[in-house]
């Protein structure tokens, strides 16, 4: 059975009864709920769950039912930009599933959610119907408050559902993307400008590696600095390459890498690929040699 | 559910009908048969399978039934030393299982096999009842042909079953051990003495790392040499430490590591531990952050 992960963000981070109702809806669909991360300041909560495609789709639709029954964007305030009650729903291939599987699942789920709630839905990232809709930020610009005006323009007709916002739930953005790895490297220095210069060197937006977002920050309590990163495609820009890149840049300032850290979850394949690279494994080596891979295959 | 691997060796490597009967017996017990490796010269076959403890025990007992019905050691010849029709049965902790679980399973399975076939059974490695029985080679010394004389000595009374050999099946050795990793490093040189000296340096028996067996060999078709190793406890002597040890020794001869290779299967944990080491992951990092670990836990 292929396993797909889903990480929906809903526009509620304060009312525990609403968060519990949404969690119960997800669990009831037979997926494994791995994490619930509410943020009161953002007034937003991230659910992480995984399962086989049909269950994941059912869990998302149950989450839409629960969230739309309790969340009214007209009275919602929080620091994080948002377009809808269920703001964004990415599907992520984990095991025995391809990106194409996730794109298909995104389209089917978007169509069903739009029909169930008369809700406009946009497809994004790998599921986007046009390049202009790949980036979440572009779709979300203007937020809930600007949505009616935005949707009046023909180029912002939704992929599914009506061409006007849902009165209380706005619109939703559903798509498919690679697993994102929150990866930080701590440097043996307190010089923030070193971390900032390395971040500038390594990140895609300023000339660095294609699937890296990065910034330099101070860890005040430890008296050191950190290159804080998101790796948005660990197959194409793998962890080990980022580690070695940052190590070399740091050396140019006479600074050593102290340690690295992963925040939250990481797919096993991202780590085994790094082990294979550092160990200089030969071309014959494949994931099929990993015992657990054998155990999972159509057992 | 805990997952335990089992890698029994039977004394038949030529008659396909017997090998098929044994494979069918294993599969019938509800485990996943991962590999069957017959060796005609050794006249011996290695089965690899895995499953939850009760199924693994049932598979081993079914294998005893099938093997003892077809194999007669009195007419068996092959290059590999052997004591019995089912020669050796190691249980290996894989996922959610401890070594103590495997020791318990080894004892229970040994007792049941001895009772079912009036067969003497010795416990070895982690399941051994005395230090003198830890090493398989010590138990097997004298082989089937010398077994009656050996068993006449009180110190070689079996752990289970009668104090004399089974007439056609000899005796069996059952135990628990860590997963063994067959790990080789190819060197960018054709100088065999370099590989041999590195093997001497890295292996336990001549002063090297505690859980490494090693020898130097020539890969004639490629014009290079190899340090060919078995890592017998990847938690205590991990792959990355062996890799770096060999790299440093090779540099002393002006030789580079060309590549490394793993033969057969490797537990995922052995590779993720190496990735964490090379990437200098901080102390907070744990296996619980690996997505697949979360998915498997009591789902």
Given A141, A176, A211, which residue is the final one in a domain? Answer: A176
Q: What's the pLDDT score for residue A155?
A: 95
Mean residue pLDDT of chain A comes to: 94
Q: For residue B299, is it within any domain?
A: no
* Structural domain range at position B188: 181-293
Pairs across A and B, CB distance < 8 A: 139
- The pLDDT tens digits for A172-209 are 999 999 999 999 999 999 999 999 999 999 999 999 99
Structure tokens at A208: 């660095």
CATH number for position A172: 3.30.990.10
Q: Taking CB atoms and an 8 Å cutoff, what residues of chain B touch A261? A: 281-282, 284-285
Same domain for B80 and B102, yes or no, is: yes
- DSSP summary character for residue B127: T
Q: Determine, yes or no, domain membership for A243.
A: yes
Q: Is B274 on the interface with A (CB under 8 A)?
A: yes
Q: Do A27 and A131 fall within a single domain?
A: yes
Give contacts of B290 with chain A, Cβ < 8 Å: 265-268, 271
Last residue of a domain, one of A176, A194, A229: A176
Are the beta carbons of A280 and B272 separated by less than 8 Å? no
Longest CA–CA span in chain B (Å) reads 59
pLDDT (0 to 100) of residue B69: 98
Inform me whether the pLDDT recorded for A295 exceeds 90. Answer: no
Query: So what's the pLDDT on residue B1?
Result: 80
**SS3 at position B202:** helix
What pLDDT is attached to residue B297?
64
Return d(Cα B29, Cα B50) in angstroms, integer.
Answer: 11
Query: What pLDDT does residue B64 have?
Result: 98
- DSSP at A281: B
Cβ(A273)–Cβ(A181) under 8 Å?
no
| Binary contact (B262, A94; C-beta < 8 A) | no
Instruction: Give yes or no for residue B65 having a pLDDT over 90.
Output: yes
> How many whole angstroms separate alpha carbon A248 and alpha carbon A251?
5
Q: Which residues of A are catalytic?
A: 80
* Cα distance between residue A4 and residue A101, in whole Å: 9
In the block, residue with structure tokens 């990106």: A99
Task: Say yes or no: B172 and B44 in one domain.
Answer: yes
Same domain, B142 and B58: yes
Query: What is the C-alpha to C-alpha distance for residues B268 and B89, in angstroms, rounded to an integer?
Result: 23
Residue A211 covered by a domain: yes
When CB atoms are compared, the residue of A260, A289, A291 closest to B94 is A291
Query: Is A59 domain-assigned?
Result: yes
Percent residues over pLDDT 90 in chain A: 88
- Please give the ipTM for the structure prediction: 0.75
Q: What pLDDT does residue A280 have?
A: 96
Q: Give which of A92, A95, A268 to mutate to test B binding, by max B Cβ within 10 Å.
A: A268
Residues A171 and A196 in one domain: no
**pTM of the predicted structure, to 2 decimals:** 0.79
Q: Give me the residue from B32, B257, B272 closest to A272, CB to CB.
A: B272
Which domain CATH number covers B230? 3.30.70.670
Is the residue at A299 inside a domain? no
| B145 and B44 part of one domain | yes
Q: Which residues contact A39 (CB under 8 A, 6 or more apart)?
A: A13, A45, A46, A80
Is the Cβ of B118 closer than 8 Å to some Cβ of chain A?
A: no
Give me the residue from B3, B266, B276 closest to A290, CB to CB: B266
Lay out the sheet containing B224-231: strands in order across: B212-219, B224-231, B181-187, B257-263
Q: Are residues B165 and B235 in the same domain?
A: no
Residues A115 and A226 in one domain: no
Report the number of distinct structural domains present in chain B: 2
CA angle A9, A12, A16 (to 5 degrees): 115
Place of tokens 């076939």: B117
Residues of B in contact with A272 (CB under 8 A): 268, 271-272, 275
Residue A10's pLDDT band (cuts 50, 70, 90): very high
Over residues B126-141, the pLDDT tens digits come to 999 999 999 999 999 9
pLDDT for the residue B132: 93
A292/B281 Cβ within 8 A = no
B166-171: average pLDDT? 98
Which of A293-297, B42-46, B95-99 is predicted most confidently?
B42-46
- Judge if A185 and A168 occupy the same domain: no
Residue where a domain terminates, one of A142, A176, A210: A176
Does one domain contain both B57 and B78? Answer: yes
Pair (B91, B158) in one structural domain: yes
Nearest to A265 among B32, B280, B291 (CB): B291
């Amino acid at each position: 059975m292929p396993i797909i992960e889903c990480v929906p963000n809903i526009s509620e981070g304060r009312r525990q009864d609403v968060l519990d109702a949404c969690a119960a809806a997800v669990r009831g669909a037979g997926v494994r709920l791995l994490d619930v991360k509410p943020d009161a300041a953002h007034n937003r909560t991230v659910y992480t769950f995984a399962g086989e495609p049909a269950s994941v789709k059912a869990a998302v639709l149950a989450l839409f039912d629960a969230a739309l029954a309790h969340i009214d964007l007209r009275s919602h305030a929080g620091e994080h930009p948002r377009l809808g009650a269920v703001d964004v729903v990415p599907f992520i291939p984990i095991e025995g599933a391809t990106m194409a599987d996730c794109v298909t699942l995104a389209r089917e789920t978007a169509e069903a959610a739009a029909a169930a709630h008369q809700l406009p839905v946009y497809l994004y990232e790998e599921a986007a119907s046009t390049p202009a809709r790949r980036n979440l930020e572009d779709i979300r610009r203007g937020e809930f408050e600007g949505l009616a005006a935005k949707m009046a323009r023909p180029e912002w007709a939704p992929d599914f559902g009506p061409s006007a916002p849902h009165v209380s739930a706005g619109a939703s953005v559903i798509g498919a993307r690679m697993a994102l790895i929150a990866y930080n490297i701590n440097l043996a220095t307190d010089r923030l400008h070193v971390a900032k210069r390395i971040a500038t060197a390594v990140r895609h937006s300023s000339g660095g590696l294609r699937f890296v977002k990065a910034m330099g920050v101070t860890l005040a309590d430890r008296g050191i600095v950190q290159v804080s990163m998101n790796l948005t495609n660990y197959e194409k820009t793998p962890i080990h390459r980022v580690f070695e890149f940052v190590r070399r840049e740091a050396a140019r300032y006479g600074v050593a890498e102290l340690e690295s850290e992963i925040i939250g979850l990481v797919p096993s394949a991202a780590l085994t690929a790094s082990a294979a690279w550092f160990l200089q494994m030969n071309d014959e080596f494949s994931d099929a040699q990993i015992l657990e891979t054998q155990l999972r295959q159509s057992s």
